[in-house]
Chains A and B, each alone.
Chain A
């Protein structure tokens, strides 16, 4: 009950601020849309690959990375900023507790991220496919982009097809509701659990915020490059990658959204690792956050940074 009240308050606040500063909101969305499309289209056309699938694969990776980046950011630099401005003390004094408040805040930020990036990704996917279909079929590399989407018109594969990640599809997005919703939910919980752990540490050890910055960039890079080619690497590297919550989430989301494997994702090893991540990170994160919250009260650092 408390969670929904806080959620309602947060949604209302976010909506009011977005509406009040509508120009900033629209500009940010517009700039992100244009930048993404121009960057990816320009980049992949420029190097001559002309592969919409690869472009969308990388864009989705980047978006998942940005989500992880902002989620960990909310629990590290965001939390530090709240401590500095006094907002953290106010939130702490709400009778629903800090954990409920942060769950609601992260939910709102996730929903916003999903809405924003879905718009951007759809826009980008549509423009890349339109651009690809307008290209002349005389260039075999552009044929790939233009025809694979048609599924039956297979022509000579391009010379560099082997460089495509196994998660890359045709550039078309497959929004299967069930697997996509399950994956989003699991990604949210694994990221929130991980975020709570970082946030708890930031409550007491303020310098953790600096390490979290590195971690955020690392997560973004992992999400950008993640594919099931990971399973070809050394077992230790695999184990390390699986402990980071964003790796398997990115692999699964790419397989569903880009490859369109649908419900088959539920039998993919990365899906099990993702569940394991949720099962491990959520209780660990919450336990660490609770313990650190108590410690921070003892040290009197809730309102200080």
Chain B
């Protein structure tokens, strides 16, 4: 763990218990007088975010992303482990930590609808100890930065969802915090609004040196926005790498072989080092896609064996391509592998 990290989660763990009375049990579908359900929302997670970095938390619904954001912002107390923000323990110095973070929770719940953007900034600024001239100047600067100057005196209820979301980011930035937590900032937004928010987040991180944590299940957003990506699956951290490294991990292992016809796939999957083989039929023609093991020597032997097998079967080999992965493929493979093995990769 880096000592220069702005945010650190050290072996953080959170289990939620829910109590149900006179309800049908989710698994047995039988009505019970009482049953208790346990959800391991965050399972001994460790990661950090450095200043000037955007970390994306990627995961399915219910994977534990929002719980992690809430743990960092002090809204949820971990069962064990530590959450450190700018060197301060969230549990013991929560009120001080709150001066160092800006949080945008999911949806547009942050803003007060009967007030204008300027009044919202004034209200939340006062709540967070920003006063007088500094508050006025910062409010104007933020509205200008986020592109809402022309709407500064329009009631929030009359703004579009994207504008409300941008205002929520301004509110989170009113104390000029070094850490910004964005929970699904682009969900439900149109392409332009989503683009505008992404641009502003990048600009803010690069120009102002903020440390940003973004949770999302939009792979494009994560791929475009984040310097590093942490994939969360069933409360566990399944992967945490630089975006390009993450894409590289699986790119090495998948090959597309363009053929004159699709052969029988069973002999191919029996070759040692071949994890899977599937038929391909796209714009580039027909063929097969083979996924090989990560070990380079084994992978090389397996690839030679696949080609030999195809030659024996009388199939014409037209081309071999190294498959280009996108984040969605990587995400699906990590989470599927994880589901099958029950282990974090």
Contacts and interface: CB of A to CB of B under 8 A. Distances in A.
Contact of A12 (B73, B110, B122): B122
B212 to A, nearest CB: 17
B131 interface: yes
A2 B126 CA distance: 9
A93 B75 CA distance: 8
Interface string B300-315: 0000000000000000
Contacts of A85: 109
A87 B114 contact: no
B272 interface: no
A9 B95 CA distance: 19
A86 B99 contact: no
Contacts of A198: none
B89 interface: no
| A-side interface mostly | helix
A101 B112 CA distance: 16
Place the interface of chain A in its size category. 20 to 34
A147 to B, nearest CB: 50
Interface string A288-305: 000000100111101100
Contacts of A38: none
B34 interface: no
Contacts of B127: 5-6, 9, 91, 94, 96, 101
Nearest to A300: B76
A21 interface: yes
The listed residue with most A CB atoms (<10 A of its CB), out of B16, B76, B114, is B76
Given A12-B123, A16-B119, A97 B95 contact: yes
A8 B126 contact: yes
Contacts of A5: 126-127, 129, 131
Interface in B36-94: 41, 67, 70, 73-77
A303 B73 CA distance: 13
Contacts of B6: none
A294 B73 CA distance: 14
Contacts of B155: 20
B40 to A, nearest CB: 13
Contacts of A36: none
A50 B83 CA distance: 69
A86 B70 CA distance: 13
A270 to B, nearest CB: 38
A297 B75 contact: yes
B122 A94 contact: no
B153 to A, nearest CB: 12
B189 interface: no
Contacts of B131: 5
Interface in A160-216: none
B123 A302 contact: no
From DSSP, what is the main secondary structure of chain B's interface residues?
loop
A99 to B, nearest CB: 11
A89 B183 CA distance: 13
B236 to A, nearest CB: 18
A294 B95 CA distance: 14
B115 A13 contact: yes
Interface string A10-22: 0011001100110
A12 B129 CA distance: 15
B126 A93 contact: no
A95 interface: yes
Contacts of B123: 9, 12-13
Contacts of B73: 93
Nearest to A21: B114
Nearest to A87: B109
Given A16-B115, A297-B77, A303-B75, A93 B98 contact: yes
Nearest to A8: B126
Contacts of B112: 13, 87
B114 A20 contact: yes
Given A297-B75, A299-B16, A300-B67, A95 B128 contact: yes
Interface of B: 14, 16-17, 41, 67, 70, 73-77, 95-96, 98-99, 103, 105, 107, 109-110, 112, 114-115, 119, 122-124, 126-129, 131, 155
Q: Which 10 A-B pairs have the closest CB atoms?
A: A86-B109, A9-B126, A297-B77, A95-B98, A94-B127, A300-B76, A298-B77, A95-B95, A95-B99, A17-B114
Given A16-B114, A17-B114, A300-B70, 6 more contacts: A16-B115, A21-B114, A95-B99, A297-B74, A297-B76, A303-B70
21 contacts: A5-B126, A5-B131, A6-B126, A8-B126, A9-B127, A12-B122, A12-B123, A21-B114, A85-B109, A87-B109, A87-B112, A91-B127, A93-B74, A94-B127, A94-B128, A95-B95, A95-B128, A97-B95, A297-B76, A297-B77, A299-B16
Interface of A: 2, 5-6, 8-9, 12-13, 16-17, 20-21, 85-87, 89-97, 101, 294, 297-300, 302-303
